[in-house]
Chain A
Amino acid sequence: MSWILILEQSLNGLQFGLMLFLLAAGLTLVFGIMDMINLAHGSLYMLGAFFAATLVQATGSFALGVLLAIPATALAGMLLEVAVLRTLYARDHLSQVLATFALILIANEVVRIVWGSDLQMTMPAALSGPVQLLPGMPYPAYRLLIIGVGLAVAALLYVLVAKTRIGMLVRAGASNREMALAMGVNIQRLFTLVFGVGAALCAVAGAMLGPLFAVQVGMGESILILAFVVIVIGGIGSIRGALVGAVLVGMVDTIGRAFLPHLFGLFLPPQFASAAGPAIASVLVYLLMAVVLFVRPQGLFPARG
């Protein structure tokens, strides 16, 4: 019984971690190549979810709506890059933080004006039921779909980064931007492309998580900070680090929230355990980040040697 519960929560953790990876992957590449801190990445996640919710309703098909939302968000991301973010590369981090923070405020209000504070997004009816994963262990089919999509996109990204020419340029840019420039790589065009891919990944995560969490203004901000934690743990510019970090954060967060209060109850008085359990569980990923920082300040898989 309790083993089934642990397995179930591990799958939940994996599912959350994979979606976190989609966000962190785009963010870490933007960091790695342009040394640019982009807080508005979470706004693209929000935009992706709102696009998906609208398009799913308009087309009447979940798959079609989500598939249309991805290029739409990628386009929005590339537009944002060309219009605003491009001028920020040469600026200091403070300017980047402030400008992209301003973009969050603008994006939130624009979404509020266009769509209102939140939208309903329903999962496809065929996947709303449970699947008998093991004897005695039902698991929501939709969450399995998320895990599948997450793994597929991660594999696709791996092939794109490790096996294609564009991926080679991206890796060159991440490990040494000046050298890549000197070798004649058109960093500017490459970066618009990377930004589009990052926005598309945001849209996948936003669209897939839409039916589980609420599609609402501000949804991108708390998950953005978790994506930062992932990048700090994994190492800036490293896709592999982002994957390991994201799954680690997803697992620790989910399993901590599910079992820590119970675990504390084993050896602490109940009134203390019920108070301390949720409190510690909510800060567990940040403690993990602090530990990683002390052991390896550059993250687990630093992209630069």
Chain B
Amino acid sequence: MNARAAALIAALAAAVAFPLAMQAADQLFFVGFASRVLIWAIAASSLNLVLGYGGMISFGHAAFVGTGAYVSGILIAGGVTSAWIGWPAAILASAVLALAIGAASLRTRGAYFIMITLAFAQMMYYLMNSMKAYGGDEGLSLTSRAALGFGLDLGNEVTFYYVVLAALCALLYATHRLAHARFGRVIAAIRENETRAEAIGFPVYRYKLICFVIAGAAGGLAGALLASHGKYVSPSLLHWTQSGTLMIMVILGGVGRLWGGALGAVLLLALEHLIAEHPIPWLLAIAPNYPQHANLGVGIVMLVIVLYAPQGLAGLVSRKRHA
């Protein structure tokens, strides 16, 4: 067994054992927190698909996460609680939205593409803000989580955690297979040299669009899970800073690496939680309000990483391994 497989099994075992240990220690809060982290890991991994594998700098990924959340939330609020209807519907809606946004924005490239994805995502934010029927700017509160059937109660934090973990594993496995299939090779070729890929004869636009749609659909799944997790959907999910946060997660973890999105989500959310909930006494003595300004730290760390370690933390680790 090589080191890679050993690390994979250890990580998986830790993830499976985590809620049982927390349950034994009577710390169920952390199970709910971990579920939220894993959902963001799904969202970040879906962005990594388009950003890292596809090389398309989409600055509007929150639109797909938010759309998935709204579709699933609206269905639950309307009495359709079955996850077997709500979640596929969320995935489908996000995929359709990604098809529309992708079809328009992939006609351009470079800075144009970044600005256009950003603008379309912000359009969805304003749209949901003005939809009074679905809560408008106050958001939509749900009375229950989605129902899975088969005797599984998603209201139970531990059950919910395992469902989210299964979804994340399924997405990462699918990403791994996709990256090593013909489709993934073509996408990598387009990322490395679009002109050359086109000259060889690949329909570049179509491949990029399919990649964009798959990522959007996976983002929709994350949104649907998020709606059930917090039993609340609000336009702030669609806000452009969410897209930026997702991007930060991917960069933090490692662009175009299978674990990049998940690693980044865990790191960023754990860091936020630590800064907000566990103030360091000596730092508190110098700057009494520093937990309220956590974003200052995130910004500085981000700037330093972009300027000095553009490959992310995963890049630092693998660079050391090669050295």
Evaluate contact between B116 and A98: CB separation under 8 angstroms: no
Shortest Cβ gap from B44 to chain A (Å): 14
Evaluate contact between B111 and A293: CB separation under 8 angstroms: no
Q: With A97-B57, A102-B299, A103-B303 in contact, is A283–B116 under 8 Å at CB?
A: no
Evaluate contact between A102 and B306: CB separation under 8 angstroms: yes
Evaluate contact between A282 and B126: CB separation under 8 angstroms: yes
**Does B213 make an interface contact (CB < 8 A)?**
no
- Which B residues between 111 and 128 are near A, CB-CB below 8 angstroms? 111-112, 114-116, 118-120, 122-123, 126-127
Evaluate contact between B118 and A294: CB separation under 8 angstroms: no
Evaluate contact between B247 and A87: CB separation under 8 angstroms: no
Segment among B4-12, B130-138, B276-284 that sits at the interface with chain A = B130-138
**Does A279 make an interface contact (CB < 8 A)?**
yes
Residue from B118, B298, B306 in contact with A99 in the complex, judged by beta carbons closer than 8 Å: B306
Shortest Cβ gap from B188 to chain A (Å): 16
Shortest Cβ gap from B49 to chain A (Å): 15
Q: What residues on B are CB-neighbors of A293 within 8 Å?
A: 104-105, 107-108, 116
Evaluate contact between A283 and B126: CB separation under 8 angstroms: yes
Interface size class of A (residues with CB under 8 A): 35 or more
How many B residues have CB within 8 A of the partner chain? 44
**Does A106 make an interface contact (CB < 8 A)?**
yes
- The CA-CA distance from A210 to B39 in the complex, in Å, is 40
Shortest Cβ gap from B245 to chain A (Å): 9
Residue from A105, A225, A275 in contact with B295 in the complex, judged by beta carbons closer than 8 Å: A105
- Which B residues between 191 and 235 are near A, CB-CB below 8 angstroms? none
- The CA-CA distance from A239 to B132 in the complex, in Å, is 39
Interface string of A25-41 (1 = CB under 8 A from B): 00000010001010000
Q: B interface vs A, CB < 8 Å?
A: 51, 57, 59, 104-105, 107-108, 110-112, 114-116, 118-120, 122-123, 126-127, 129-133, 240-241, 244, 247-248, 251, 255, 289, 293, 295-296, 298-300, 302-303, 306-307, 310
Q: Other than A84-B307, A294-B104, give 4 A-B pairs with Cβ distance below 8 A.
A: A91-B310, A93-B110, A101-B302, A293-B105
Give me 30 A-to-B residue pairs in the complex whose CB atoms sit less than 8 angstroms apart, sorted by A's number: A37-B114, A87-B307, A94-B51, A94-B255, A98-B302, A99-B302, A101-B244, A102-B298, A102-B299, A102-B306, A103-B303, A105-B298, A105-B302, A106-B303, A109-B296, A113-B289, A221-B241, A222-B122, A229-B115, A229-B119, A231-B115, A232-B112, A236-B112, A282-B130, A283-B123, A283-B126, A289-B116, A293-B104, A293-B105, A293-B116
